[in-house]
Amino acid sequence: MIIKSINLTNFRNHENYHLECNQDTTLILGENGCGKTSVLEAIYILTRGKSFRSTDPEIIKRGTSFYRIELEYDNGEKIVASYDTKNKTFVALDKKSRRLPKKSRYPIVLFLPSDLNLVSGSPSRHREYFDRIFSQINEEYNTNLSRYEKALKQRNELLKNEYITKTDLFSWNLLLAKYGVSLYKTRKLLTDEINQNLENVYHSIAKNDDKVSLVYETEIINDSEEQYLNQLEKNYEKDKYLGHTSFGVHRDDYEFIFNNCEADGSASRGETRSIILALKFIEADIIFQKLNQKPIVLLDDVFSELDEARRKCLISNFKDHQVILTSVEAVE
């Protein structure tokens, strides 16, 4: 589908804002701090169901008590989200709900300036990035991730209680084992799929023969829930002392390898940007292969971070997608 328009009311620093979108490329031009990223954030909320950068109370324009955003597709379908400091509601397909219905979610390739620093990012930053991608590709992954995080939070809360016993943790261990193994299998599978094309796509951008790969780093040995459960129980005393769960997929990481070395520290600034561009192109391709939908591409002021050759490559690879981008200067 193609986004036709979006309206914002009391969203960030926008009291009222309307954007008409083109079928191919829409440029949102303005100085830093004028609210360009907020427009992309609103689009993301109405296509994915939540913000990519903060919680609802932080989004409401200062001095007001609610926000409202409305998106219209080219087929006439409208989606509305509103929040009044207490309740958040979506209206989609003429039905009101607390969450954006699965049928109304649409895939997005989101490109933020911070993504260009992904290679040197922390494990939590890596997990957040790939979780966002995998959740779009696999709806079950999104559900299992949410359930795993809730179970992990409950288990960690219990570990802070000095009277907690191993038996008290058993039901949470079972849930962590169940959902943890499922997340492990999906992460491993999709990382392998990324690696099938990463080097070739990188070569098409960088015009060289460097070796590039993505390594999924995990403590999980295999897809056995029993082994996962046994390790959680084995770590009972350690976890009780630490006050948190020391084993599991919430500690996973992703490492970029460049010419048989860690890319962080060995790849140049330009080389790391080529790696991330390749990753974005592969993300769009996998989404189309899995969902049979061409994702909408949101580019937040990334042109200023790329040289001319990489800008042209970005434009060329996304020429068949609807692209909505922000910039502080005109983009050719």
Same fold, 3-106 and 117-293: no
Q: Residue range 81-102: average pLDDT?
A: 94
Residue 107, CA distances (Å) to 43, 104, 286, 293 in order: 11, 10, 11, 7
pLDDT at 332: 64
CATH classification for the domain delimited by 3-106, as one of 3.40.630.30, 3.40.50.300, 3.40.50.720, 3.30.300.30: 3.40.50.300
Q: Residue range 248-275: average pLDDT?
A: 96
- Total residue length of the chain: 332
Q: What is the Cα–Cα distance from 190 to 130, expressed in whole angstroms?
A: 10
Look over the chain and give the mean of its residue pLDDT values, rounded to a whole number. 95
Would the pLDDT of 17 be above 80?
yes
Instruction: Report the percent of the chain where pLDDT is more than 90.
Output: 95
Q: Residue range 95-115: average pLDDT?
A: 95
Q: What is the Cα–Cα distance from 105 to 93, expressed in whole angstroms?
A: 12
Angle of helix 225-234 relative to helix 166-206, nearest 10 degrees, comes to 120
Q: Residue range 226-240: average pLDDT?
A: 97
Ordered by start, the domain boundaries in the chain are 3-106, 117-293
Would the pLDDT of 267 be above 80?
yes
Reduced DSSP (H G I as helix, E B as strand, rest coil) percent helix, strand, coil of the chain, to 5: 50, 20, 30
Q: For 117-293, give the CATH class.
A: mainly alpha
Q: What is the Cα–Cα distance from 320 to 323, expressed in whole angstroms?
A: 9
pLDDT at 33: 87
Q: Residue range 196-208: average pLDDT?
A: 95
Window from 63-67, 105-109, 203-207, 327-331 with minimum mean pLDDT? 327-331
pLDDT in tens, 130-145: 999 999 999 999 999 9
Longest Cα pair distance anywhere in the chain, in angstroms? 65
